[in-house]
Amino acid sequence: MISTRRSLLKLSGASILGSGFPSRLDRVAAMQKAPTLRDVLTSQAIAGSEKLLLQPTPGEEGPPQPAKSDRLPLEWNKRTVQRFKDMLAQREIEAFLIRNPLNIIYLIGYWHTTTERPQAAFMNRADAAPWFMYPGLDRDSVTSWWFGDGIEYFDYPHADGAAPNKGIVKDAPTVDLFKFMLAGIKQHGIQGNKIGLDGELYPSELAKIKEVLPSVQFVNVANDLLQMRIVKTPEELALWRRSYIYFDRAHAFARDYILAHGTDVTDYEVATATTLWINDILFRDVNLANGALHHGVRTSVNVSARVGPVTGFPHPNQPQFNRIGRNMAMQVEGGAHIGGYGGENYRMFIIADAAGKFDPHMVKLWEVTQHCCDMQVEMSKEGVTCSSIAKQIHDYQVAQGMQPYLYQRIAHGEGVEGHQAPYISLGDHTVLKKNMAFSEEPGVFDPKNGCGFNWSNTVVVGQKAGYRMSRVPYSKEWCFIKI
């Protein structure tokens, strides 16, 4: 492991972190005595801050067992597509066209890099596999997954008839790729006279549809698809849970790094060391199949940290490169995903002053926000509205004198894209359903005094109360530190 890290350090130019970084990293790595996933799950040979990680609450209102797979299997996508088809059939829609990359990923399982190059997937109710429009640079990815048929264009913008990969080089007129797609669907064949589309159409697009497919009606089914996506299946939550096992270990490593090296290091070094260490472990566990397509998709743990005045802003635009000091607030944060599933995990620290005391103002902000996190979990149950949770938490914040420090809503929905509807916000009256997932961010920010506290986690809605994915404590034992 050490040799792997050292080679990575050379490639990443880690000398910017200062001399002695590899030895500092190795010192903290040696404190982590649970090298395998099995050790963590069975609590064997755990040392350092990992000893303080909470045990997950089992049962109906607790997190699921972690997935053993690295991504959702194709069988899951086929079942999900069938659910979508059945939903559309109730509206007498026998075909669908999806253009939003997130919807393609969700339904079809085709993970791809999104750029200006348009891609689309189409299916009739009777089709056994999707039809695609796709750019040439993704032809290996799309055709090696769940692929029925499709049309390929070389690149964007596409020249009519050009295909350098086939030896055809033309300086030809630009192809209208929307009409190109419609013509391909027409050639493929359309079941019925309605196509469900994941979005609205521009007037120019409607005119092109009238020209190419005059007898077909496009129906916006984006909200139907969103409603499917925001209520997670057990398989999605199991992958989510697996990602948090690594995320929790990353938090324990970061805490040990801070305690071990204190004022000798920057927040940037804590983040870099932690990200390097945990991904070294993660990618030894994930089946990468020697770089084969469709393995290890959207999998990583990315840790960042901020200390001092930069914590006083919700979305700072200044670099997070500050030396750790006493009498400061510090946030260890980031995101973790396996197979695209996972979320945020932030913890807020207060670092004692030289006398070992904690600033009373920071303690007050910390205590209020920590209690707000607990409030959100307790209220995250079926049948309540997003706005009602937001109101109760904001009422508590204001009653505690936090109004000068309030900048944001309580939480956002969590999905593959990160921020997803609905929102724990005063303006969102969505009724919660079991297995919806949210962040947890009742943050307060005090730029004048150079401190702020913004937690996060994944809170999953239950029948009687919610539950958290992370096992990292919200305790003063974890978060109030002396260096």
Confidence of residue 40 (pLDDT cuts 50, 70, 90): low
* pLDDT per residue as tens digits for the range 108-133: 999 999 999 999 999 999 999 999 99
What's the confidence (pLDDT) of residue 48?
87
> What tokens were used for 319?
């670099």
Confidence of residue 59 (pLDDT cuts 50, 70, 90): low
Given a cut of 50, whether residue 283 has pLDDT beyond it is yes
334 φ/ψ sector (left φ>0, alpha ψ -120 to 50, else beta): left
> Of the CATH numbers 3.40.50.2000, 3.40.50.10320, 3.40.50.10470, 3.90.230.10, which one belongs to the domain with range 2-60+234-481?
3.90.230.10
Average pLDDT over residues 375-387: 98
How far is residue 27 from each of residues 257, 277, 321, 481, measured CA to CA in Å?
9, 12, 22, 19
Given a cut of 50, whether residue 100 has pLDDT beyond it is yes
- Domain positions in the chain: 2-60+234-481, 74-230
Query: What does the alpha-carbon distance between residue 176 and residue 135 come to, in Å, rounded to a whole number?
Result: 14
- Residues facing 152 on adjacent strands: 134
Residue 460 is inside which H or E element, if any? strand 459-460
Given a cut of 50, whether residue 11 has pLDDT beyond it is no
* pLDDT per residue as tens digits for the range 184-202: 999 999 999 999 999 999 9
> What tokens were used for 285?
């566990």
- CA 443 remoteness from chain centre: 19
> What tokens were used for 349?
């620290």
Backbone φ, ψ for residue 91 (5° rounding): -105, 15
Query: What does the alpha-carbon distance between residue 272 and residue 107 come to, in Å, rounded to a whole number?
Result: 35
Backbone φ, ψ for residue 31 (5° rounding): -80, -20
The pairing of beta strand 459-460 with beta strand 467-468? antiparallel
Query: What does the alpha-carbon distance between residue 428 and residue 217 come to, in Å, rounded to a whole number?
Result: 31
Given a cut of 50, whether residue 2 has pLDDT beyond it is no
> Which residues neighbour 167 within 8 Å (Cβ) at sequence distance 6 or greater?
none
Q: Of 443, 465, 458, whose CA–CA distance to 375 is shortest?
A: 465
> Which residues neighbour 462 within 8 Å (Cβ) at sequence distance 6 or greater?
60, 61, 380, 381, 382, 434
What's the confidence (pLDDT) of residue 62?
78
Residue 480 DSSP SS3: strand
* pLDDT per residue as tens digits for the range 158-180: 999 999 999 999 999 999 999 99
Query: What does the alpha-carbon distance between residue 54 and residue 50 come to, in Å, rounded to a whole number?
Result: 9
> What tokens were used for 434?
């079991």
Confidence of residue 12 (pLDDT cuts 50, 70, 90): very low
Given a cut of 90, whether residue 36 has pLDDT beyond it is no
CATH 3.30.930.10 is right for the domain spanning 74-230? no
